[in-house]
């Protein structure tokens, strides 16, 4: 069974703990994306799984077997790197056949496998070309094809699309996801591109400072971020995260934000909150609705900047020292200097305690 598992995976480089007790479990047929800011330990985690980096502590299991002491080749993994290297003196067909020569296969079996994988990645037309005569997107597809031409235990991808331009990336994301869906292999993909993770992953592991902050489906990561870090990291434009003091609770909760009293419906959760305590209220820029006029408890903010984004407009507003982002349909005309009264609807709110952890509403 194709699976990847790590237990307390840890890597220290001298004083620096690059990966700190990471537990992962990737099922057969599942795509897990490791996502996080630069330097959070994604690549080091992947390299330890591959056997390209030793572990300081913890274990790696591939297909149910502990592989800490096995070489990369013995782990039987296919990898695709950001800087994929094709053999320049071999044609596309020969590049694809190369990993199969080490296996006990006849020439006709190898040919059949190459034709099959070339078909999956739309490379039929370029099988006889040399790599130097390929477009960048074709080279990338050859790299992916070469990884899947064998029948390895699992797949590891490290920023596989980062060298492609935006349009090619979008097309390749879909293609790779479709191909992986048909292979029943455990796959781990490292990326710092959240759109790549949200579109390709069955589950996303968000990392920070060597640790996993949350592992969940793209939907859950977006809809129920476990803490302030994940809430601010996932979603474009970034979620508004406003620190406010809870003033009073009588049915609706009243918060002091940016010098204003704003009333929020927190339902029964409000009973568990402490008056006078500071909480972080999160609301995505598409979740803030400008009201036609000031309503009791709405949040007043002044438009600093109007940024057209095509179908939508991004507004940068300010309330006291708090920056607020709002995304509106482009037909809603708003001018710089205007004051908007923002309503905070309960179903759009995220609430976090002082330690940054989510409080479910």
Q: Name the site residues for ligand ATP (rule: CB under 6 A).
A: 13, 16, 18, 36, 38-44, 192
Nearer to ligand ATP, 9 or 242 (CB): 9
**Shortest distance in whole angstroms from residue 159 CB to ligand ATP:** 7
Nearer to ligand ATP, 18 or 143 (CB): 18
Nearer to ligand ATP, 42 or 325 (CB): 42
User: Strand pairing of 57-62 and 260-264?
Assistant: unpaired
- Dihedral pair phi/psi, residue 272, rounded to 5°: -90, -5
Cβ count within 10 A of residue 103: 11
**CA distance to 4, 101, 130, 262, 324, per residue, from 86 (Å):** 27, 16, 10, 59, 47
Helix (H, G, I), strand (E, B) or coil at 155: strand
- Dihedral pair phi/psi, residue 225, rounded to 5°: -60, 135
**Shortest distance in whole angstroms from residue 43 CB to ligand ATP:** 3
Nearer to ligand ATP, 210 or 244 (CB): 210
Residues 6, 42 contacting (CB under 8 angstroms): no
Query: Using CA of residue 240, residue 245, residue 247, residue 250, what is the dihedral sign?
Result: positive
CA dist 224 and 117 (Å) reads 38
Angle between helices 92-101 and 136-148 (to 10 degrees): 20
**Shortest distance in whole angstroms from residue 74 CB to ligand ATP:** 22
Nearer to ligand ATP, 38 or 355 (CB): 38
Nearer to ligand ATP, 9 or 299 (CB): 9
* Residue 288 burial class via C-beta count within 10 angstroms: exposed 0-12, middle 13-18, buried 19 and up: buried
Helix (H, G, I), strand (E, B) or coil at 251: coil
**Shortest distance in whole angstroms from residue 44 CB to ligand ATP:** 3
**Shortest distance in whole angstroms from residue 206 CB to ligand ATP:** 11
What's the gap between Cα 361 and its chain centre? 24
Residue 29, both tokens: 């047929």
**Shortest distance in whole angstroms from residue 10 CB to ligand ATP:** 12
Residues 219, 220, 225, CA angle at the centre, nearest 5°? Answer: 125
**Shortest distance in whole angstroms from residue 47 CB to ligand ATP:** 8
Nearer to ligand ATP, 30 or 53 (CB): 53
Nearer to ligand ATP, 209 or 261 (CB): 209
**Shortest distance in whole angstroms from residue 39 CB to ligand ATP:** 4
Q: Rounded to a whole number, what is the distance in angstroms from the first to the last CA of the chain?
A: 39
CA dist 160 and 143 (Å) reads 9
- Dihedral pair phi/psi, residue 144, rounded to 5°: -70, -45
């Amino acid at each position: 069974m194709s699976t990847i598992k790590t237990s307390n995976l840890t890597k220290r480089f001298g004083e620096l703990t690059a990966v700190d007790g990471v537990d992962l479990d990737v099922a057969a047929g599942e795509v897990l994306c490791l996502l996080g800011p630069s330097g959070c330990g994604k690549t080091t985690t992947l390299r330890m799984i591959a056997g390209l980096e030793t572990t300081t502590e913890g274990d790696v299991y591939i297909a149910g077997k502990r592989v800490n002491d096995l070489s990369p080749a013995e782990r039987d993994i296919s990898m695709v790197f950001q800087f994929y290297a094709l053999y320049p003196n071999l044609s596309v067909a020969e590049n694809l056949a190369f990993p199969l020569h080490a296996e006990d296969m006849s020439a006709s079996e190898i040919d059949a496998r190459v034709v099959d994988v070339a078909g999956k990645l739309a490379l039929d037309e370029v099988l006889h070309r040399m790599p130097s005569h390929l477009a960048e997107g074709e080279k990338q597809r050859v790299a992916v094809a070469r990884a899947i031409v064998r029948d390895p235990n699992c797949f590891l991808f490290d920023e596989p699309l980062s060298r492609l331009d935006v349009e090619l990336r979008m097309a390749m994301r879909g293609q790779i996801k479709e191909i992986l869906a048909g292979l029943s292999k455990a796959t781990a993909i490292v990326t710092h591109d959240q759109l790549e993770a949200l579109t390709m992953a069955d589950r996303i592991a968000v990392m920070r400072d060597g640790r996993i902050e949350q592992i969940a489906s793209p939907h859950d990561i977006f809809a129920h971020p476990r803490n302030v870090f994940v809430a601010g990291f996932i979603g474009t434009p970034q979620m508004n995260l406003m620190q406010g003091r809870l003033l009073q609770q009588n049915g609706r909760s009243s918060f002091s934000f940016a010098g204003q009293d704003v009333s929020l419906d927190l339902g029964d959760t409000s009973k568990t909150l402490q008056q006078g305590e500071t909480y972080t209220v999160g609301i995505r820029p598409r979740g803030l609705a400008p009201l036609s006029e000031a309503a009791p408890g709405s949040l007043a903010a002044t438009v600093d900047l109007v940024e057209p984004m095509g179908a939508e407009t991004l507004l940068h507003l300010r309330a006291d020292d708090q920056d607020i982002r709002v995304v509106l349909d482009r037909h809603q005309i708003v001018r710089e200097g205007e004051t908007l009264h923002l309503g905070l609807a309960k179903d759009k709110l995220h609430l976090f305690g002082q330690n940054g952890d989510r409080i479910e509403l």
